[in-house]
Amino acid sequence: MLDALTERLHELYPEMVEFRRDLHMYPELSFEEERTPAKIAEYLQALGLQVRTGVGGRGVVATIEGAKPGRTVALRADFDALPIQEETGLPFASKVPGKMHACGHDLHTAALLGVAKVLAQNRESLSGRVVLIHQFAEEIEPGGALPMIEDGCLDGVDVVYGAHVWSPLPYGTVACRSGEAMAAADSFTITVSGKGGHGAMPHTSVDPIAIGAQLVVHLQQIVSRNVDPLRPAVLTVGAFHAGNAPNVIPDSAELVGTVRTFHGDVQDLMEQRLNEYAQSVAMAGGATATVDYRRGYPALINHDEQATRVRELAAQRFGEQQVIDVDPVMGGEDFAYYLQRVPGAFFYVGGGSETGEANYPHHHPRFDVDERSMLVTGELFLALVLAELGGSGPREAGLVSGGNRSAARP
């Protein structure tokens, strides 16, 4: 059955490409999505599915009911873009100034819509339900996952899977690790308040720029001297705002940054020490510091059973050599919230050039990936659905016949 479904998916590839490119030309930022969810809902409604719109705010959820009762599998794709001016020069480059699909969410969406059409056309062969979660606002906290969950998108769901195209991995590969996969993503703002004055007479002032610069250096000691080196942590100051004239010492300076961790006690330590350093460095310079520390997405922890299933099915479909071992990534993902509610796994699908040339990173103005990664994503989603709805193992779902087949190319 799986081979028949994937054959149909490949027939739909031109339609998936067309949908993806349309989204790419008209990107919408987190919490501003209007056209995108409307197009998604229209596509799903045309398939005769039960479709909810405005889920959690701007999300879209559709349900495919199989002919027979059974388990419920959820598949998730995100659809927001980034505030980046595109520089790819592609014929379908963004037509919206300052906005771009620079992370691959347009491909995630098109891949899941292709899967939706295949499954909708074969619902009489399914035992159970498939819930299609099209999520808004993954890129910006507080994200769309949590409000969608609170609005019922996981109600009755037994297991959930999500995928992300990944430019560092070559096309045709899949990566999924058990346990810690992506870090908790916290953010902070430190405001150093001093006393402004003339740049030629610094002794009459309390210079928040000098104090803030010291603080940037001191904060790095939290990771290097307070955190166990065998437990990952990152602290980055990504912005430093102060003053606007060469001869004026401003009253205040603002530092903005991010903290990434996997373990709760390390996260607590990072927050505690950041506050202590901010207060002590500011006090030593005669200033004061105000810290706003915001906890963001939790660490993404894949469940062992589901992560193993992803790897096994990927090996059967595409070959064992195409399943890549990866280390945890310090980036954050609000798919973590889904995994806190139900078992599941989040996996990467290679989208980079097979030669390794011209692979720009995610969030880069020239980011692009191999569109055929949508087929790999779609095939693996279909295999996972059949495995979960068909029984505890791939053989019960009739997947063995598709074993060791390389990722087909359109």
- Catalytically active residues are 80, 138
Tokens coding 214: 């010291």
Q: For the CA atoms of the chain, what is the radius of gyration?
A: 24
Amino acid (one-letter) located at 306:
Q
Q: Are residues 169 and 352 in contact, defined by beta-carbon separation less than 8 angstroms?
A: yes
